[in-house]
Structure 1
Amino acid sequence: MGMTSALSNALSGLTASARSADVISSNISNATTDGYGRRELDLSSRVLGGEGSGVHIDGITRIVDQVVIADRRLADADLGSSTTRAGFLQRIEDVVGEPGTAGSLSDRIAGLDTAFIEAASRPDSDPRLQSVLRSAQGIADHINTISREIQTQRTNADHSIALQVDQLNSALKNIEQLNHAILTQSSSGRDASALMDQRQQLVDQISSIVPMRAVPRERGQIALITTGGAILLDGRAAEIGFTRTSLITEDMTFSAGSLSGLTLNGNPVSTGENGIMSGGTLTATFEVRDKLGVTAQNDLDAVARDLIERFQDTSVDSSLTALDAGLFTDAGAFFNPANEPGISTRLSINISVDPESGGAVWRLRDGIGAATQGDVGNASLLQSMSGALTRSQVPVSGNITVASRSMSGLSSDYLSKIGAARQSADADIVFASTKVDMLKTQELQSGVDTDYEMQQLLLVEQSYASNARVMQTIDELIQTLLRI
């Protein structure tokens, strides 16, 4: 081997060592960067004229565990779905209030029963009759508040769907552009690892919205397909459509056509549990808007109806006619069962007993429909109303229970149904969270090991020093020849 060949070999070794140091330093500096794939420098022997001629840099390989990443993305989607459902249920549970807690619905109903009993012991006492009125108003206001909160959460869910759809469309377009950039880089023989890191970060960001798998295509490109089979990206990004609603009321549902669904490239897609986009936060938010929220509202309407009908019964208050409103009313009027949807929002106290509306509290003692006061010592109506509140009866609507319940029992069953669903969602969160943590740990294990990288850097240092020593020796030989 001549000195020229030796010098060429040493120079290629120095170049490879410098490039290796660059790759290793990049690995170490990005050890905790999300989406970063560890790099390895690919080297091979360079052969010219049948003889070894140093080392050749073949390129850089990005090392990631695609199986673990795919499983972690699906777990992220499950966690997002469970968290979305649990958040809604927890909010409604908080507004209803736990039994025994001051200000809860059950506490207010118990307070009304106590007020009836105290007023019946002194039917001539206006303060005790006022206490009955305040307690009844507290129940009506509380049920109104729960109903408004349900619709607020449904409206928020609709707005969240719009934001998620915008995020999906934007990310898919960006991933499409990154695919093209990676193709260009790969075709020209340049390293596209940094672009792949950016693409992985984008896919990770939207994988909790819709569970998807990245399918490899030629020259480093990928296609994105949901677990339900919808193609979100394969060459070109799909267009997901949704129309936001500014305000949702009790009567507005997707099934009635008053709320927007989801489209994929202009075609309607199911947002149910078995739809092609199901599994992530997007369909869970649809579930809050179209299923959980609607069910909670329907059941609350059943509670409000049960409360109204207990007191507009003519057997409870003989001063009422068949179409007269009782203590609790439908926006001040007699409740018609055909007009049940939204009754929990319209629930109010009969103005006949409210002094602020021109009524009089003595009608709680003498009859809602009474024209004049009767015997101030007559407690029969107050006792009858107390009995109506505590009487067990089967609710005629809703899907809370088929058992006979008092008003207090029915409100407790309503809360229990929501609480059971929330506990189920919480259990799903624990399971999904544990799975995500486990998969993230596995993902990190296949990522950058700084101890290993430092060991490799020491080897690179030794290689660099050796090649530099070879070049120094050749230089000394050349200098000796020149001095002869």
Structure 2
Amino acid sequence: MSITGALSNALSGLNVTSRGVETVSNNIANALTEGYARRELEISSRSLGSEGQGVRVVDINRMIDMALVGDRRIADAVTGDRQTRAAFFQDLGDQLGDTGSGSLLGRIAAFESTLLAASSRPESTARLQNVFDAADALAKGLNAASDAVQAARQDADADIATQVEQLNTTLVRVKELNARITEVRTTGRDSSALEDERQMLVDSLSSIVPIREVQRENGQIALFTTEGTALLDGYAAQFGFSAKPVVTAQMSLGSGTLSGLTLNGRPIAVTDDGGMLGQGSLTAAFAVRDILAPAEQDRLDALARDLIRRIDAADPPPAGSAGLFTDGGAEFLATNEAGLAGRIALNASVDPTAGGRLTRLRDGANASAEGASGNATLLNALVSTLDAREAAASGPYAGKFSFSGLAAEAVSSVSTALIAADQETSFAAARSDELRVLELADGVDTDHELSQLLLLERSYAANAKVITACDKLITYLLEM
């Protein structure tokens, strides 16, 4: 080998070593940086004809297992779905309570006990006041539970709009990074930092919809849902959604009063099992707004209707008039049950602060004159009708229940759904965490990087000695 050939080889070795030291330094410096993928140099020999010409850096590779990343992204989507559902049932369960005095069941028990106490002394104004307070608290408890359901639907509607905006914005940003990465690669520069940024953007979408990443030419990627819906493949998909400022019990997707989802201007169905988008937090938000919350509202409305029906059976109001419990102050009509739990209220005729009389609790909500103070007939009838086991007039209830039993069934359904949702959330989160740990295992190992640094130091020293030897030979030749 000639002196110039040896010198060229050594210089190429120094250049590769320098790039290696830079790569190792970046790895160590970014060991704790979120989204950073460990880099390794890809090196090959350089030759001219049959003669070696040193080494060269072919590429800087990001060491990442994309199959593992894909599985983790799907796990993130399932976790986002389960967490959204669990949060809904948790909030509703907190509003309904368990069996304490402020819970729905506690309010029903208080109403029944005050009726029983008043029936033993119907002449007692204090006991009639207790009945009024308990009945009013029961109506307000149903109102609060209904308000919680509709607030959950309102929040879900707003959350859908936020997630759709994030989807659109991020997909456009990924498309821009695709173009930038291609530009950088074609000029022979390192695109690893841009690829890290792109991966973090895709990860930010993985809890919204389950994403599969497909490699394209020149470092570009395409994104699809697990159900095959194209999110990004040359062009970015455009999702459409219109949030509503107010969501009420009467509003629904089927009636057209709530917005659905569009993809590139075409409506797409978002079903409870995911449909075209798969299961993620976006699907779960639609499920809360259009399936889960309306189902719980139906239960509450059926409970409110059952209360009105039972009380009216014991104290029948005149035609066209409301009984002890009203639909927002008016007579309840079976055709207007949607949202009844949010409107149910005590009749003003028994409210002293509204010009009513407490004695109407004993004599009848529509009694025109005060009856005998010792007459407990109506109070006993109210106790009996609440305790009677009857089938509910509406709602998803099967069997016959007392009024408190019907309420317990409604509360139990929420508790059961919450337990199931919590279990599914825990399982999904554990799977996501485990995959994340496996993913991090491929990250930067500082001990390994430091050992690589020692090898690079030796390589640098060896190449430096070759250059020193070449320098001495050239000097010797010049001195001849």
TM-score by length of 2: 0.97
Residues 269-305 of structure 1: CA deviation (Å, up to 9, x unaligned): 0111241013100010000000011111111100000
Q: Which residue of 1 aligns with 2:48?
A: 48
Contact 1:85 1:288 survives alignment (8 Å):
yes
Amino acid in the other structure paired with 1:317: D
Q: Which residue of 2 aligns with 1:331?
A: 328
Q: Helix, strand or coil for the counterpart of 1:312?
A: helix
Query: Aligned partners of 1:80, 1:381: CA distance in 2, in Å?
Result: 53
Sequence identity percentage: 47
Q: Which residue of 2 aligns with 1:430?
A: 426
Cα shift at 1:40: 1.3
Q: Helix, strand or coil for the counterpart of 2:329?
A: coil
Contact 1:176 1:237 survives alignment (8 Å):
yes
Q: Which residue of 1 aligns with 2:109?
A: 110
Query: Aligned partners of 1:190, 1:341: CA distance in 2, in Å?
Result: 63
Contact 1:124 1:376 survives alignment (8 Å):
yes
State how 1:10-409 maps to structure 2 within 5 Å: 10-99=10-99, 101-272=100-271, 273-313=273-313, 316-317=314-315, 320-399=317-396, 401-409=397-405
Query: Aligned partners of 2:254, 2:380: CA distance in 1, in Å?
Result: 44
RMSD: 1.3
Amino acid in the other structure paired with 1:6: A
Q: Helix, strand or coil for the counterpart of 2:392?
A: coil
Query: Aligned partners of 2:332, 2:245: CA distance in 1, in Å?
Result: 30
Residues 402-421 of structure 1: CA deviation (Å, up to 9, x unaligned): 11111111111101111111
Q: Which residue of 1 aligns with 2:438?
A: 442
Cα shift at 1:366: 1.6
Query: Aligned partners of 2:386, 2:236: CA distance in 1, in Å?
Result: 59
Cα shift at 1:48: 2.3
Residues 55-104 of structure 1: CA deviation (Å, up to 9, x unaligned): 122121222101100000000000000000000111011101112x1200
TM-score by length of 1: 0.96
Q: Which residue of 2 aligns with 1:8?
A: 8
Contact 2:274 2:283 survives alignment (8 Å):
no
Query: Aligned partners of 2:177, 2:347: CA distance in 1, in Å?
Result: 65
Residues 374-395 of structure 1: CA deviation (Å, up to 9, x unaligned): 2111111111111122221111
Q: Helix, strand or coil for the counterpart of 1:32?
A: coil
Cα shift at 1:49: 4.1
Residues 7-49 of structure 1: CA deviation (Å, up to 9, x unaligned): 2111111111000011111122222323222211111111124
- Unpaired runs of 5+ in structure 2? none
Contact 1:331 1:348 survives alignment (8 Å):
yes
Amino acid in the other structure paired with 2:269: S
Query: Aligned partners of 1:427, 1:132: CA distance in 2, in Å?
Result: 41
Query: Aligned partners of 2:86, 2:113: CA distance in 1, in Å?
Result: 35
Q: Helix, strand or coil for the counterpart of 1:276?
A: helix
Contact 1:176 1:236 survives alignment (8 Å):
yes
Q: Helix, strand or coil for the counterpart of 2:391?
A: coil
Tell me if 1:419 matches 2:415: yes
Contact 1:312 1:324 survives alignment (8 Å):
no
Amino acid in the other structure paired with 1:453: E
Query: Aligned partners of 2:330, 2:53: CA distance in 1, in Å?
Result: 98
Contact 2:274 2:280 survives alignment (8 Å):
no
Cα shift at 1:323: 4.2
Larger mean Cα displacement after TM superposition, 132-141 or 390-399: 390-399
Query: Aligned partners of 1:477, 1:386: CA distance in 2, in Å?
Result: 114
